[in-house]
Amino acid sequence: PRGRFCWRHLLVELGSRYQVVALDLPGYGASEKPPGKESYQLESLAQVICQVIEQLRAPPGNQQPGTGAKGTPRGCCLVGHDWGGLLAWEVASRSPNLVEKLVVMDAPLRGVMPGFLCCHPSQLLRSSYVFLFQLPWLPELLLSLADFELVRSVLLSPWLGVQNPERRLTEEEVEVYLYSLSQPGGLSPPIHYYRNLFRDTPIPRDPPPAPTLLRWGSHDAFLDPRLVPVLRRRLRPAARCHLLPGASHWLPEDQPQALAHILTDFLEGGH
């Protein structure tokens, strides 16, 4: 995940029709960066997202909140990608009253990966960086070497980065991402997300009750697109799960216009 900056294209596409809010997750960008990896466990992070949604739907002053059919405040359409998608699954399952519709991009449900890895061991290669990130201090050192050259090469890679030739990151856009990582204490929090992966015990939950749209890049280099049919079987029958042909893992930047059309259809077309 790369913070709210990765949503810049979709904010432009959707901002004229909807109230759109993009967040820096805790530890990213301009958000607070609490010390210690305990602050970045999924349960704690999901709680933060729930609190943000509650605050956003609270009416200012004496205005009346927008309400649903039963007089309760309306939920949001929650859209998440990568780590944000993992958190979106969690929030929609544990607090369904907050989420009216759910959109997840390139992020699996908790508990799916162990079984998938047994059947598709090639995913271990795609996820090999996760095991490196379990080590103390060494990942921070390697990523920061030569002015974050490793991070820069991944973001600009024609295989690991954005696939759409018209949307590949410019040097200026890469610098935006590297700026937050280069600030004091800016590199460890994103790695702490991964350090908690094997500490968090997935809590069995029913599939999210909200109408759900799952989109996945067919050329995702990090998460095997064969996860899509596996996830489809775990969701409610009405969930819409599709691959976006030719797209990379970085969907919000790779295919923003196509996604804007898909999201608008999902928002206005019911389930």
| Every domain of the chain and the residues it spans | 4-53+74-268
| pTM above threshold 0.85 | yes
What is the DSSP track for 93-116? HH-GGGEEEEEEES-PPTTSHHHH
What is the DSSP track for 190-243? HHHHHHTTTTPPPPP-PPP-S-EEEEEETT-SSS-TTHHHHHHHHS-TT-EEEE
What does DSSP say about strands 212-217 and 99-105: parallel, antiparallel, or unpaired?
Answer: parallel
Catalytic residue, chosen from 106, 192, 194, 254, is: 194
| Displacement of CA 171 from its chain's centroid (Å) | 23
Whether the CB-CB separation of 99 and 209 falls below 8 Å is answered with no
pLDDT tens per residue across all 271 residues of the chain: 568 999 999 999 999 999 999 999 999 999 999 988 999 999 999 999 999 999 998 776 545 545 554 555 678 999 999 999 999 999 999 999 999 999 999 999 988 999 999 999 999 999 999 999 999 999 999 999 999 999 999 999 999 999 999 999 999 999 999 999 999 999 999 999 999 998 866 676 788 999 999 999 999 999 999 999 999 999 999 999 999 999 999 999 999 999 999 999 999 985 5
Which CATH number among 3.50.50.60, 3.40.50.11750, 3.40.50.10490, 3.40.50.1820 corresponds to the domain 4-53+74-268?
Answer: 3.40.50.1820
Catalytic site residue 120? no
Catalytic residue, chosen from 82, 220, 224, 254, is: 82
Catalytic residue, chosen from 106, 193, 224, 249, is: 249
Catalytic site residue 82? yes
